[in-house]
Amino acid sequence: MKQLISDLPDNRYAGRRVFVRVDFNVPIEKGQIREDYRLRRAIPTIEYLSQRGAKVILASHLGKPKGTVLPELSLKPVADRLAKILNVPAVKFAGAVVGEPVTRALDAMKSGEVLLLENLRFERGEEANDPAFAKHLASMAEVYVNDAFGAIHRQHASIYGVAQLFSDRLAGFLVGKEMEVLSQVRDRPARPFRVVVGGIKIKDKLSALKALMPKADTVLVGGGIAYTFLAAEGVATGDSPIEPEFMPWAKDMLAQYREKIVLPADHVVAKDVKQRDGLQDVHRAIPAGFKGLDIGRDASLTFGHELLRGTGTIFWNGPLGAFEVDEFADGTVDVARAMALAHWRGAFTVVGGGDTVAALRKAEVLETEMSHVSTGGGASLKFIGGEELPGIAVLSEK
């Protein structure tokens, strides 16, 4: 296990500057934060350090400004929301990542105070893992903490290069919790262990699926990726999205694990997401000219039945349909609600994936109705897939 912030004696924090990489990449529309789960998950680490008299310097990226200053991607609204969440009058905001305003803000910091830097990706050096930029970030503090699970798979300056410049580099409580829960799912799942996978792009899910397939009791496949599996079985999939490069892999998985893989028996099909005339629920073969855009009613019942069979463990990544459009949201909403019910009955339920978490909201299922909602999409899949994550690896590098 990596060293956690609680492994360092309190006197190493008192009066000292601690650089904390957080993941405050939250959806903001017209200056309004739509969803602040990631901010709330950072509270334990921020308060732990602040209560021990540290000067807490928070740094995050937001969106993809690609090395230029874009006012609409400023973290100022995040500083204001964080102050409300922490129930303090204000969280200081540096307004920049480098330069005079930052130096002044750092000099003015008192023990226990929290300062948020501006969007790290306003600087080109961040994504490039530029050594000079890493050095600049490192010069701000005496202790390095990574609590940015959602960005921990990126080899960026604030995640990787900067950590190498500290002798004290530690994981925050959120990173610790994510690793603990996802390791449990991967290595010690209580049975029956059910995996629900949907969404698109098999490539992103490949390592996780390879790791989970042998361990799961049941793998429920829906969403866009189900069509590659159905096509591999020789079922007519009409104009549904297929990933031909993964057909051989899907065939191989079906050959090895057919008895545990559940594919949807019916589908909500339409000509297109936007062209919804001719909307219908079809069993088996999807006619030419139509796409499968959601699992059908019967598939939804089968999935729900599997999820509510026993308690055990359920891991879910990827919506079961194009849920952003109401007509194609039922399968995803049904799975979210079945998982919440399974959780209340005692199952260990874990959800990962940016779009999947957004889908919970659509289903009106709260984070507290799951055992764990991961703050990392790509990171959670890579962790489960056993891939090395730069931000975790660097914490134990010599």
Binding site for ligand ADP (CB under 6 A): 198-201, 223-224, 241, 292-293, 317-319, 321-324, 353-356, 377
Query: Is 324 a residue that touches Mg ion (CB under 5 A)?
Result: no
CB 38, CB 172: distance < 8 Å: no
Between 324 and 355, name the residue whose CB sits nearer to Mg ion.
355
Minimum Å gap between C-beta 224 and Mg ion is 11
| Measured distance CA(274)–CA(294) in Å, rounded | 14
- The residue among 354, 333, 303 whose CA lies nearest residue 195 is 303
- Among 168, 298, 327, 355, the residue binding Mg ion under the rule CB under 5 A is 355
Minimum Å gap between C-beta 140 and ligand ADP is 33
Stretch near Mg ion under the rule CB under 5 A, chosen from 121-129, 217-225, 332-340, 349-357 = 349-357
Between 125 and 377, name the residue whose CB sits nearer to Mg ion.
377
Torsions phi, psi for 56 (to 5 deg): -95, 110
CB 131, CB 161: distance < 8 Å: yes
From 53, 95, 238, 354, active-site residue: 354
Query: Is 27 a residue that touches Mg ion (CB under 5 A)?
Result: no
Q: Say whether 222 is catalytic.
A: no
Number of residues that bind Mg ion (CB under 5 A): 2
From 21, 38, 121, 382, active-site residue: 38
| Measured distance CA(322)–CA(330) in Å, rounded | 10
| Partner interacting with residue 322 (select from ligand ADP, Mg ion, none; CB below 5-8 Å by kind) | ligand ADP
Q: Say whether 321 is catalytic.
A: no
Asked if omega into 9 is within 30° of 0 (cis), the reply is: no
| Partner interacting with residue 228 (select from Mg ion, ligand ADP, none; CB below 5-8 Å by kind) | none
Between 200 and 341, name the residue whose CB sits nearer to ligand ADP.
200
DSSP state of 159: I
Within the chain, where are the H helices?
Answer: 37-41, 43-51, 76-86, 100-107, 124-127, 131-138, 173-187, 202-212, 226-232, 247-257, 297-307, 330-345, 354-362, 378-384, 390-396
Reduce the DSSP state of residue 105 to 3 states and report it: helix
Q: In the stretch 196-235, what mask flags binding to Mg ion with x, by CB under 5 A? A: ----------------------------------------
Torsions phi, psi for 195 (to 5 deg): -115, 130
Between 93 and 316, name the residue whose CB sits nearer to ligand ADP.
316
| Measured distance CA(222)–CA(294) in Å, rounded | 8
Stretch near Mg ion under the rule CB under 5 A, chosen from 19-27, 268-276, 282-290, 355-363 = 355-363
Q: Say whether 66 is catalytic.
A: no
Between 310 and 354, name the residue whose CB sits nearer to Mg ion.
354
| Partner interacting with residue 64 (select from ligand ADP, Mg ion, none; CB below 5-8 Å by kind) | none
Q: What is the DSSP string of 66-98?
A: TTS--GGG-SHHHHHHHHHHHT-S--EE-S-SS
Stretch near Mg ion under the rule CB under 5 A, chosen from 30-38, 175-183, 346-354, 363-371 = 346-354
Q: Say whether 201 is catalytic.
A: yes
Q: What is the per-residue burial (b if ≥16 Cβ within 10 Å, else e) of 236-248? A: ebbbbebbeebee
Reduce the DSSP state of residue 3 to 3 states and report it: coil
Reduce the DSSP state of residue 315 to 3 states and report it: strand
Q: What is the DSSP string of 234-252?
A: T--BTT----GGGHHHHHH
Between 319 and 391, name the residue whose CB sits nearer to ligand ADP.
319
| Partner interacting with residue 319 (select from Mg ion, ligand ADP, none; CB below 5-8 Å by kind) | ligand ADP
From 64, 201, 203, 284, active-site residue: 201
From 161, 176, 304, 378, active-site residue: 378
Between 58 and 336, name the residue whose CB sits nearer to ligand ADP.
336
**Which residue has 């999409």 as its token pair?**
377
Minimum Å gap between C-beta 319 and ligand ADP is 5
The residues of the shown chain that bind Mg ion, judged by CB under 5 A, are 354-355
Catalytic residues: 38, 201, 354, 378
